[in-house]
Chains A and B, each alone.
Chain A
Amino acid sequence: MGRYFLKRFVYSLFTILLISSVTFLMMHSIPGGPFTRERAVPDEILKVLNAKYNLDDPLIVQFLNYMGGVLTFDLGPSFSKVGTSVNDLITSGFPSTATVGAWAVLSIILVGIPLGVISALKQGSSIDYSVMLLATFGVTVPSFVIATLIIYFFAGQLGWIPPFGLSTPQSYIGPVVALSGYSLSFVSRLTRSSMLEVLRQDYIRTARANGLSEFSVIMKHAVKNALIPVVTYLGPTIAAIMTGSFVVERIFAIPGIGRYFVESVSNRDYTTIMGVTILYAAFYVMMVLLVDIIYALVDPRIRFEKESKN
């Protein structure tokens, strides 16, 4: 068991390093340097800039320097914001991104899963239909549309929430709903179908035949099994929510990592693009690892398989 996780952990680290290398190489294969602009920059200035950021070193030296930085959590200076390092940008953006993301994840788990369970238990009822209608809406409408609709109606027409920023508690509602909408809907649909599948299983009939209370049949025997596929989906989703926040951050003008990322894409701030990509990827890989661990803890069959493999 322990060995398996250690192996998985080392494998994840290796993945992150590989992703960092690929990202580095991709960014350095862009024709023209980071200081290529529509208006030509004088050669002398370019030379100074290149020397300042060590861009005149051979690629392999740059690569080793950068990877050394990644290993020591130093993502280098920002190319467009003079005097600011990528670490500074991430540090200043992280609180907003993390807070909105955490609320979104919480609402997915605390709203999406119960909705799916209730919907499955009341299959065919009007509750079921309304939940599924809402969930279908959620998975067919892109987050930027949800976000703009929220701004238009709740900020513009009704004036209930501020249209941008994170100044008041209410201002979290819009970003959190927009960010979690798709996954929340998906999770409730997934939970519902998984729950329906589990409720048909023989062991549920056994639990009933053994006279267990309906509460125990549902909450203990059905829900835990039904959550196995949901957990598998949740890991990458949580990572994607944290990383996919750039659209929502852009619309609601939230000073988070995602907004810096979008800005850096349009400013050709290559170090920031690289840094944020690597950060996102690392987070994603770690979430996948975490889910694998939870998965093995929830489902003894997986644990068994992995123990016997190692």
Chain B
Amino acid sequence: MAPLLEVKHLETSFFTHVGEIEAVRDVSFTLEHGQVLGIVGESGSGKSVSALSIMGLIESPGKIKGGKVLFEGKEISSLNNGQMSEIRGNEISMIFQEPMTSLNPVYTIENQMVEVIRRHQKINSKDATKLAIDMLKLVGIPEPAKRIKSYPHEFSGGMRQRVMIATALSCGPKLLIADEPTTALDVTIQAQILELMNDLKNRVNTSIIIITHDLGVIAEVCDHIVVMYGGKIMEKGTEKDIFYDPLHPYTVGLQKSIPKIHKGERARLVPIKGSPPDLLHPPKGCPFAARCPHAMQICLERAPPTYRVSPTHTSACWLLDKNAPKTEGYRTGEAIDG
């Protein structure tokens, strides 16, 4: 059986009046049925643009320049907007960072949910309303039959995100893409939403891609992780690979820069110095080279190939090359491209 989602050498650029911004550069990854994949990176790393590219939601002046997206073995990146809209919300759903503004303020929840359901399923509006109420119940909205008549502004942020999730799942999609689903929410609400997603992952048979800059979120729900930086994939692996055996200086830096609250452990927070590269004129070498503590001459000259260290774990860093000087915590891998 073909994997659920395959992204192959995806390249997306924004052609602005100041020039081409290469937001996503040669990104490839695979998602199997039932997996939860986390894409992590700071803002501007290209993670959201990758997700929007998969959804076919890149808007002018953005453009998918190269690569393809296969969904269950079928190429979806070549579909037109009309064909793609049959898939969106039906087989692949997406929720966004801003629950406060992601619902249309002038229509009731019922109106918006029923519209989506009836767009993809041939049922009458009464059944659609029933389904919508069931979905709201599933995501933990109290008194769903009454609340469904409300307008978005009558809900709190956390509740709105639950509505978003309910709508996204209402047509039983095979894949749910959640773009920073908890970032805009209070910490306690964040935890509730993550718990909800963890719970749903088991109850409805949906694969999930979670996009976040927060490693904590990733650790809680994901089994596979992609680390992105400067429009490229830096490291890819299982949750264990990334958290216990990071093989890219950027991943290491990310982990050092988040607070750890463990008993008796008092590690200093180490920020990553400098700022992300300007994707208007991306560096020709490794995008992280300028901030990398282990940077070498080659890092400025050539983009590193991807090195494989285990069947699940790859990293794009010259430190893994056989010619690289021995560095603590890094080992040689097998170059698989470039």
Contacts and interface: CB of A to CB of B under 8 A. Distances in A.
B106 A300 contact: yes
Contacts of B167: 210
A300 B102 CA distance: 16
Contact of A208 (B57, B90, B101, B164): B57
Contacts of B90: 211
Contacts of B151: 300-301, 304
A123 B99 CA distance: 28
Interface in B94-133: 94-96, 98, 101-108, 115-116, 119-120
A211 B103 contact: no
Contact of A299 (B86, B95, B103, B106): B106
Interface in A251-310: 298-301, 304
A203 interface: yes
Interface in A222-243: 224-225, 228
Contacts of A228: 106
Contact of B85 (A211, A224, A298): A211
Give the size range of B's interface with the partner. Answer: 20 to 34
Interface stretch (A130-138, A156-164, A212-220): A212-220
Interface residues of A, number: 24
B164 to A, nearest CB: 7
A201 interface: yes
A47 B6 CA distance: 99
Contacts of B81: 214
Contacts of B106: 224-225, 228, 298-300
Contacts of A212: 85, 89, 115-116, 119
B82 A213 contact: yes
Interface in A171-201: 201
Contact of B168 (A205, A210, A213, A216): A210
A202 B101 contact: yes
Most buried by A among B81, B85, B115: B85
A300 B153 CA distance: 9
B88 interface: yes
Interface string B145-185: 00000010110000000001001100000000000000000
Given A213-B82, A300-B105, A300-B151, A206 B119 contact: no
A28 interface: no
A304 B153 contact: yes
A207 B94 CA distance: 10
A223 to B, nearest CB: 10
Given A202-B101, A225-B104, A300-B151, A210 B93 contact: yes
Given A202-B98, A203-B102, A300-B106, A211 B89 contact: yes
A273 B89 CA distance: 62
Contacts of B95: 209
B39 interface: no
A202 B152 CA distance: 13
A228 B101 CA distance: 16
B105 A214 contact: no
Contacts of B89: 209-212
A221 interface: yes
Contacts of A221: 104, 107
B286 interface: no
Given A216-B115, A300-B151, A300-B153, A211 B102 contact: no
Nearest to A221: B104
Contacts of B120: 211
Contacts of A299: 105-106
Given A202-B96, A300-B151, A304-B151, A208 B85 contact: yes
Interface of A: 201-203, 205-214, 216, 220-221, 224-225, 228, 298-301, 304
Given A211-B119, A299-B106, 4 more contacts: A210-B89, A211-B87, A214-B85, A228-B106
CB-CB nearest 5 A-B residue pairs: A211-B89, A211-B88, A210-B89, A209-B94, A300-B151
